[in-house]
Every structure is written in structure tokens, then in C-alpha cells.
Amino acid sequence: MRARNSLYIFTIPALAVLTLFFIHPIILTADMSFTSFKGIGAAEPVGWKNYDRIVSRDRYLDAIWITLWYTVIVVTALTITGMFFAAVLHRLPAIRNFSRAALYTPAMMSFVVVGYIWQFLYSPLNGGINVALRDLGLGAWEQNWLGNPDLALYSVAFTQIWMFTGFTCAIFLAGFAGIPEEIGEAGKLEGATSWQRFRYLELPLLGPSITVSVILTTIGTLKTFELPFILTNGGPDGATRMLSIEIINNLFGQYKFGFASALSIVMLIIVLAVSFIQNKVLRDRENVT
């Protein structure tokens, strides 16, 4: 009993930090979201006016939709590419360590550095992508990658996919490492091809890794700000104007602290709701498999 009480005592510092730097700011933000506070002066209560503005204006509903669609694109692509590279490297131990480090390097880079590098690559005049297409005789494929509203969101998404493929690959490699070698050997003895071993033996056992990867990448992508801001600043024509950009614009551009707080609470609710649903669905899938 005394040992159990000692364990509870050791959790006090962690709970204090969690309360001070996480729970308390959320409470303050929620309280401010019901005011018209602009950084100075009194915070006048406005009730649900800020939230009514969010749900009644297409601008903010579009920002929520763009954020969700962007998340679907990025998370799906990261899951597929990360699993693909992990499956390949799992079968090639000779180059596994080097390739894992090379793939993970972009994830360790600053968002600002990555943003400006890809802004140059996407440049419509002398950008690396268009120059490469021109040199390969594919000049007809040249595009204004960040200036075309139909392409801008996918261009930004590709940058984030490039940046974090190594991250999801590392998660899936850890999952492959936890699969007993006897299972693969049994599949080989039964004459199963590499694809059949992956599809019917390894993939079901990667359930926990899939859950971790999808939830982590979803939370990170829903909060994405740096890459869209640096590459397009929400343009062109609002094609990449995500909820995070709306929050920053209202907070630091227009000093609407109350309204920006309401947008932040909406983002928090979306992140929690999506994460809860994903966790429930993916955990149930693990139990089935």
C-alpha cells in the first residue's frame, strides 16, 4: 500500500506541469472565446457570437473542409509510403540502417528550411521541378505548382509527405521488428510469395503500428501551419487557407483574440473527435485481426 502511494506521489510533478501548461491555457482560451477581447482593454462578453460567426460564414467552413481534406491526403499517403519503404527495407537488411537514416533526415529539418527549399523547387520560372521537366523533354507538363488553385493544396501536401515519410517508415520498421521470424519462415515453407507473406501474414500483425502512425500523423497534420504559410500563405484564392492560418491571421493580423480563441477551440474539438474515432476504429480492427 505504501509503495502504491509512493507511485502516486511521483505523478504529482507531471500532473502539475500538465495542468499549468496544458489544461489551464485551454480553460483560459475557452473563456476568452466568449469575448470580443482584442489584446488591450476590457474583454466584453459576446456569448456564442464568435462560434455563430464560424458556422455561418463560408470562409471558415471552407477552412475546416480544406484542413480535413488536406489531412486525408497527407495521412493516407504517409501511411502507404511509410509502409512501402518499411516493407522493402525489412527485406533488405544490408541497406536498412543507412536508408532509414536517409529517409528520416527530412523529418529532422526545420519547417522553415523545408518550406523555402520547396518554394524554390516549385517556382514556375526557374524552379527545379519545371527545369527538370524541361530538360527531360516534358515541357508541356510544366505547371505553376503553387499559383494554380487546383494544384496548390496537393503541392503543399506533397511537401509534407516528402518530409515525414521517414517518420512513418520508422514506426512501421519497429512493427516489422516485432513480428517473429518464424512466421515469415513458415510462409516461405508454404510457398507464399513476398506479396502474399506481406498481405496475409505481416499486414494483420502491423495493426498497432498502423494505429500509432495514423493517429500521430493525423494530429500533426490537422495542426499544420508552417508549410502552408511559407509556401502559399493560404493562397491562391484561399485554396490552401487552413484553420491554423485563419487562427494566426485573426490573432496576429487583426488582433481578434476572442475570435481566434473560438477558432482554436473548434480546432481542438476536431482534433480530439477525429483522434477518438480513429483510435476506436483502429483498436477494434486490431482486436478483430
Is the model's pLDDT at 250 over the cut of 60? yes
Residue 141 inside a domain? The answer is yes
Is the model's pLDDT at 158 over the cut of 80? yes
- pLDDT value at residue 100: 85
In angstroms, the CA 100 to CA 92 distance is 11
What b/e sequence results for 248-262 when a residue is b if at least 16 CB atoms lie within 10 Å of its CB, and e otherwise?
ebbbeeeebbbbbbb
Residue 193 inside a domain? The answer is yes
- For residues 227 and 236, the answer to whether their CB atoms sit within 8 Å is no
Residue 11 inside a domain? The answer is no
pTM for this prediction: 0.92
- For residues 160 and 227, the answer to whether their CB atoms sit within 8 Å is yes
- Grid coordinates given for 279: 483510435
Residue 28 inside a domain? The answer is no
Reported as a single tens digit per residue, the pLDDT across 102-138 is 999 999 999 999 999 999 999 988 889 999 999 999 8
Work out the pLDDT band at 15, boundaries 50, 70, 90: confident
In angstroms, the CA 248 to CA 16 distance is 28
If DSSP codes are grouped into helix, strand and coil, which group holds residue 35? strand
- pLDDT value at residue 163: 96
Q: Where are the alpha helices (DSSP H) in the chain?
A: 2-18, 24-32, 49-56, 58-90, 93-104, 111-121, 128-135, 152-177, 181-189, 194-197, 203-205, 207-222, 226-231, 243-248, 257-288
Residue 6 inside a domain? The answer is no
Q: Which domain covers residue 213, as residue numbers?
A: 50-288
Residue 45 inside a domain? The answer is no
Long-range contacts of 22-27 (CB under 8 A, 24+ apart): 26/268
| Rg, C-alpha atoms of the chain | 23
Work out the pLDDT band at 289, boundaries 50, 70, 90: low
* CA-wise closest residue to 51 among 269, 274, 276: 269
- pLDDT value at residue 2: 63
- For residues 277 and 271, the answer to whether their CB atoms sit within 8 Å is no
Residue 31 inside a domain? The answer is no
- Grid coordinates given for 151: 494544384
Cβ neighbour number for residue 176 with a 10 Å cutoff: 20
Work out the pLDDT band at 101, boundaries 50, 70, 90: confident
- pLDDT value at residue 109: 93
What average pLDDT does the segment 221-248 reach?
93
- pLDDT value at residue 40: 82
Number of domains in the chain: 1
Residue 267 inside a domain? The answer is yes
Give the CA distances from residue 255 to residues 31, 259, 260, 271, in Å, rounded to whole numbers and listed in that order.
17, 9, 8, 24
* CA-wise closest residue to 78 among 160, 177, 154, 161: 161
- pLDDT value at residue 41: 80
Q: Which of 65-79, 198-212, 259-273 shows the lowest mean pLDDT across its residues?
A: 198-212
CATH, residue 135 = 1.10.3720.10
Reported as a single tens digit per residue, the pLDDT across 36-86 is 988 888 888 999 999 999 999 999 999 999 999 999 999 999 999 999 999
- pLDDT value at residue 60: 95
Give the CA distances from residue 203 to residues 85, 179, 229, 230, 239, in Å, rounded to whole numbers and listed in that order.
14, 10, 36, 37, 36
- Grid coordinates given for 76: 493516407
Sorted by sequence, the CB contacts under 8 Å of residue 212 that are 6+ apart come out as 171
